[in-house]
Amino acid sequence: MNGDGATADTMTIRQMCDAFDVTARTLRFYESKDLLAPIRSGTRRLFTRRDRARLKLILRGRRFGFTLDEIGELLDLYDIGDGQATQLRRTLEIASAHLASLEHRRRDLDEAIAELKAQMEWGEARLGRKGARAAPRPLPETPRPAAPGA
């Protein structure tokens, strides 16, 4: 048989590192933060399907700039199972706030993409018509200082 502790449903730490492109240190760190809870075979960690699902969510949260603490809250959402109704309501409140945050980010993101595309088209136009002397492209509008005596 293959010597390592991995079964059909569990993975060793190295397999996890390869599958998700993270370091072992990172996985141990997440465990210390209670984001993951691999089982043990002797002293060694074995990561379950649940750990993999959670890690996937952690990595996505990270790409959005959530802190690990915030991600921990979100993870609990996927992990209720049998909480009381009160606890469930509270969780839904947190989820609702996070959803609003995500949708706000989405609007920002759309705006950023549109502006970046516009900038790039401007740049490409300059490369195309080499001699073109366009006016220095306008910067987005920003708050003006308020006249105190108005």
Partner DNA sequence: ACTGTATTTGACGTTTACGTCAACGGAACG
Partner DNA sequence: CGTTCCGTTGACGTAAACGTCAAATACAGT
Structural contact between residues 102 and 71, judged by C-beta atoms closer than 8 angstroms? no
Binds 10, which of a copy of itself, DNA, none (CB < 5 to 8 A, cut-off by type)? a copy of itself
132: contact with a copy of itself by CB under 8 A: no
Binds 90, which of DNA, a copy of itself, none (CB < 5 to 8 A, cut-off by type)? none
130: contact with a copy of itself by CB under 8 A: yes
Q: Of 60, 94, 63, 96, which Cα lies nearest the Cα of 76?
A: 94
Q: Which stretch binds DNA (CB under 7 A): 37-45, 91-99, 123-131, 138-146?
A: 37-45
135: contact with a copy of itself by CB under 8 A: no
Q: Of 40, 34, 31, which Cα lies nearest the Cα of 10?
A: 40
Helices (H), 10-84: 13-20, 24-32, 49-63, 68-77
Residues 45-84 that bind DNA (CB under 7 A): 45, 62, 67-69
Structural contact between residues 38 and 51, judged by C-beta atoms closer than 8 angstroms? yes
- Contact residues for DNA, defined by CB under 7 A: 3-5, 12-14, 23-26, 28-29, 41-45, 62, 67-69
